[in-house]
A = this chain, B = another copy of it.
Amino acid sequence: MCRWLAYTGSPILLTDVLYTPAHSLIDQSLHSRLGAETTNGDGFGIGWYDAAPVPGVFRSIEPAWNDANLRELAGHVRSPLFFAHIRAAIGSAVQQTNCHPFRHGRWLWMHNGFIDGFATVKRDLVLAVDESLFPEIKGQADSEVLFYLALSFGLDDDPAAAVARAIGFAEACGRARGVQYPFQGTIATTDGKSLWAFRYSSEGKSRSLFFSRDIRAVRQLAPDREILREVSDDTRLVVSEPVGDLPGAWVEMPEASYGMVSKAGDQLLPFTPEPPPKARYGSGRVVHRRIAATRC
């Protein structure tokens, strides 16, 4: 049910991250060890930042392992911040508009997991998407709808809170329709400057997620490795499952937590979804404008 990778640090050729390491993400498209499925062959996508005003996105319905164009691009595109995602579809069509990462303006978004009972709650969820954003939904994936919910609930202003509201809203809608565990998964999102990664599931058994230790510590695990010396000290990877052959380089993200990686320093914090306010109007608390106006 998908695997992904997010890189932030000094500019690097994508192939050095996506293809070169042992048990690379491309290898995981055929041989995932920790994923819900061994094979993640229902399309893929990459999104990367450079000098252009919006990030580039390259998505395809072919399996990542046999795609000649992905291999070419990875050998020629260099970026200080990029996402890569390999997909194992569960229900929605194999088409580019269902491939991650999704993009809106400067934002990228990718997800490994699902909204359980999505067919029953989809209408509730898309109705809560801001009307100005509604026509931007291009595909039919639950992950994309979640992205547009987060955008509607303030991703630009307070990313962690917006994701908490989006998942909280999805959980409320699911439970209202009788779904026991409405949300499962890990999410990465970025505005091209900072990177947020979330690990959470309603059931408390979330998909695997790891982040790389401080690169200065990783270098000591393999002092001769050139690539580790080349990248800057603030380089960080977040991955569905470890890549490379240095197990000591990785820390598992705790259940129900999220991390933020930014120039100002990195943070790892607990994650709790924010349920929508019970009453539509008149709540004593000050709540987010939009979420206050929506109901499952």
Contact = CB atoms under 8 A, between A and B. Distances in A.
Interface of A: 13, 30, 38-39, 41-42, 48, 50, 52, 56-63, 65-66, 68-69, 72-73, 75-77, 89, 93-97, 118-120, 122-123, 126-127, 131, 134-135, 137-140
Contacts of A69: 58-60, 69, 96
Contacts of A134: 122-123
A65 to B, nearest CB: 8
Contacts of A93: 68, 95-97, 138
A83 B140 CA distance: 25
Given A56-B73, A93-B95, 12 more contacts: A38-B38, A48-B76, A58-B73, A60-B69, A62-B62, A63-B63, A66-B94, A73-B73, A77-B77, A93-B138, A119-B135, A123-B135
Choose among A30, A42, A123 the residue with the greatest number of B CB atoms under 10 Å from its CB.
A123
A91 B76 CA distance: 22
By Cβ-Cβ distance, the 6 closest A-B pairs, closest first, are: A56-B76, A119-B135, A95-B95, A123-B134, A41-B41, A66-B94
A122 B95 CA distance: 21
A30 B76 CA distance: 29
Contacts of A58: 69, 72-73
Contacts of A122: 134-135
B52 A76 contact: yes
A29 B93 CA distance: 18
Nearest to A131: B123
21 contacts: A30-B39, A38-B38, A39-B41, A41-B63, A41-B66, A42-B66, A52-B75, A56-B72, A56-B73, A61-B62, A62-B62, A63-B63, A66-B89, A68-B93, A68-B96, A69-B69, A73-B73, A120-B135, A122-B134, A122-B135, A123-B135
A269 B50 CA distance: 41
A62 B95 contact: no
A94 B56 contact: no
Nearest to A120: B135
A176 to B, nearest CB: 14
A217 to B, nearest CB: 30
Contacts of A123: 131, 134-135
A246 to B, nearest CB: 26
Q: Which of A38, A63, A89 has the most CB of B within 10 A?
A: A63
A178 to B, nearest CB: 15
Nearest to A57: B72
A97 B140 contact: yes
Contacts of A66: 41-42, 89, 94
